[in-house]
Amino acid sequence: MDTTTRTHTHPFVPHLPPRVPTEDGLRRGEEFYRDLEERRSVRWFSPDPVPVEAIELAVSAANTAPSGAHHQPWTFVATDDPDIKHRVRLAAEEEERRFYRDRDVPQWHSALARLETDEHKEFLDVAPWLVVAFAQKHTPQPDGSLRKNYYVSESVGIACGFFIAALHRMGLATLTHTPNPMAFLNQVLARPSTERPYILFPVGYPADDCEVPALDRKPLAEALVVLRD
């Protein structure tokens, strides 16, 4: 297409990344898949320190995610403060006790049985970092107004996926922890009412004695349907 015939009402810039030869592209894809194939959600963490630069890089990767109207409706809040982490743990365990002991959701409880999870969340104290992704349904503007965001859950979900992949690439582990409800995170982390907690990520290296459930991933034949000419 002849771009000289295009007109824009907002700034546009050329985007001309070098085309990757097909064989190189497939090789890269294979390497990326094989790397992610080793990723597992971890509940036993080492207390060994993780540099803040690792968190910054992972969030920088998350910031490259596509989002509705390019509003990037997310905030990542990270803490390595032991007191804050412990407050998060106490509040999370209180909600988890209600789920595991009081809520009448037998099918959900049954689905979780093979993971052997319960209301005890020691990893929230042990992992050197806790990172919470907050979703912004509205974003405050400099004039005090609120900008409505679009496709918020989808956008934040994609950003969180990039965040997880970046952590794994650096040799770090995490867990998508979602105690329900999570409103206590707004209070503990001093976040405004325009944000809602989306996922709580403990981040660190796996413990030397770390174990994970023996689970199989869905085979490609079940995950992909190809319709061809």
> 166 — alpha (psi -120 to 50), left (phi > 0) or beta?
alpha
Residue 2 domain-assigned (yes or no): no
pLDDT in tens, 178-227: 998 999 999 999 999 999 999 999 999 999 999 999 999 999 999 999 99
At residue 116, the pLDDT reads: 95
The helix (run of H) or strand (run of E) holding residue 186 is: helix 184-188
At residue 50, the pLDDT reads: 98
Beta strands 129-136 and 195-204, pairing class: antiparallel
- What CATH number corresponds to the domain at position 184? 3.40.109.10
Residue 214 domain-assigned (yes or no): no
At residue 1, the pLDDT reads: 56
Tokens of 50: 């993780």
Residue 116 domain-assigned (yes or no): yes
The list of the chain residues with pLDDT below 50 reads none
Residue 3 domain-assigned (yes or no): no
Domain that residue 59 falls in? 42-206
Residue 1 domain-assigned (yes or no): no
Residue 211 domain-assigned (yes or no): no
Q: For the beta carbon of residue 178, count every other beta carbon within 10 angstroms.
A: 12
The helix (run of H) or strand (run of E) holding residue 9 is: none
Q: How far is CA 176 from CA 12, 145, 157, 170, 226, in A?
A: 36, 32, 11, 17, 30
Name residues whose C-beta falls within 8 Å of residue 125's C-beta, 6 or more positions apart in sequence: 82, 85, 86, 89
Residue 47 domain-assigned (yes or no): yes
For the CA atoms of 130, 133, 138, 144, the dihedral, rounded to the nearest 10 degrees, stands at 30
Name residues whose C-beta falls within 8 Å of residue 42's C-beta, 6 or more positions apart in sequence: 123, 173, 174, 175, 206, 210, 212
What total number of domains does the chain contain?
A: 1
Which has the closest alpha carbon to 141: 75, 76, 70, 194?
194
At residue 3, the pLDDT reads: 61
Beta strands 146-148 and 173-174, pairing class: unpaired
Residue 19 domain-assigned (yes or no): no
Type of residue numbered 196:
R
